[in-house]
Structure 1
Amino acid sequence: MEQRKLVVLGIPWDIDTEGLREYMSKFGELEDCIVMKERSTGRSRGFGYVTFASVDDAKEVLSSEHILGNRTLEVKVATPKEEMRAPVKKVTRIFVARIPQSVTEATFRSHFEKYGEITDLYMPKDQGSKMHRGIGFITFASADSVENLMSETHELGGSAVVVDRATPKDDDFKPIGRMPLPPPTQGGYGAYNAYISAATRYAALGAPTLYDQPGPIYGRGDPSRRTSKKIFVGRLPPEATSDDLRQYFGRFGRILDVYVPRDPKRTGHRGFGFVTFAEDGVADRVSRRSHEICGHQVR
């Protein structure tokens, strides 16, 4: 289809397919036009697709500025779905948070080894008290072990713990503040140490509202301490998908990865997600703006 199919972002919520068709028809003959809607409510999702009969007409649209209703539209060449969809990764590692202090490494191992062979286990310890920090990481020999345990809830020391897949790359996370990294002999989890990933922060500390007034640990303090490629997106509406995040934030820069953790207790996600951009600095710019996804303000 060459460059005749375009994606239109930022469509006002009250504009339907016919409204978009009427506007885009000014630039040439259309073969197809659609504003995407939510399946459950029928509401607009704020973006759509138009396919022009002529490549030249499509190029004219790409080179022009567009204002529809009270919004400025962003128009780009549509990316094939198979390219936009993040590849399915076979995850063999989990992180566990909210671990009670009474839980020992032996107890930690005993609970999870019933799901399969464990090849590595690490519980970060506080350098001063030598007590563990309430989180731990386990690597299994098989990804099936992770899939099986993620379908269940888990208790350690009489308390419910939070379990999620550990998929971030080491170079996406940097140590924050004065918290030292463990020696290399401790399993190579330095990138996860001391709650440095936003995912671990969330799981260890609780509800998404903790991100409503983010401090330095969430990337809005000292610029030298920021992780400039990854953003945390909180208060996601239940109907939002990873494709919605990819579509929306794709207007700001090329996206390497989108991750929306699933809720093991019920169908759906946990109300937050992560977006990793390809270029440095994009995340910092994005974090300074307000954003709406599926008609809801997100954090």
Structure 2
Amino acid sequence: MTEAARIPVVVNGAAGKMGREVVKAVSQAKDMMLLGAVDKSPDCEGQDAGIVAGCGELEVPILSDLQSVLVLATQQEIQGVMVDFTHPDGVYDNVRSAIAYGVRPVVGTTGLTVEQIEDLAAFAEKASTGAIIAPNFSIGVILMQQAALQASKYFDCVEIIELHHNQKADAPSGTAIKTAQMLAEMGKTYNPALVEEKETLAGARGCTADENIRIHSVRLPGLIAHQEILFGSAGQLYTLRHDTTDRASFMPGVLLAIRQVVQLKSLVYGLEKVI
């Protein structure tokens, strides 16, 4: 495949744990070209993205100015893609900027509100620019969520426990929120009250998502990304669990999203929509 035929990819958050994995994966994909790398970490500015990622020199320096790299992406024969793994505080502006430049965003950063996602969807629709926002890029997580939807037909009681490393900025995780939203869309209200509960310590019962679904968040060093969905009924407990032991597990989903987003004209929320 010629260089002109490959998908140009900009990695935003290239020096972060997920960003480094994306740099590796994109640089090794035959149908993609690592066009740019962006990160606000002053320690990494100007360094080669491949060296920082541990995959060898790629001759792509890490820059701090996203706008300038987005401009570069607009000058390619094939419309560019921005993969964003940054921080909840800046992801909305990053995605809106990418769409404004006609660069298709693939977003793994969580923390966007429902209102922000709706606004970005309207903006992408108006610009006829594809975008994918995925709370989780693991194929295993998608399968777990699909199994949960099947279980919800037979169980009325469910709670979600998500466990992540203690450097994660938002809680609950985007994956847990998305799972709860999917279950809520099944058209039933869960966990009918049998007693009047009282928390002696605030937050002991976690937070309550739509349709009375409880979500509990754990943050500890030694964890990466984990989720349990617990269904209970008389005499039985049905547990679905997914464990991430290496961030490389997310990369097949990220590469799939990059290939799919160039075919889209609007925003899609959830990797399951493009599998």
Q: TM-score, normalised by structure 2?
A: 0.26
Q: TM-score, normalised by structure 1?
A: 0.25
Q: Which of these two proteins has the greater Rg computed from alpha carbons?
A: 1
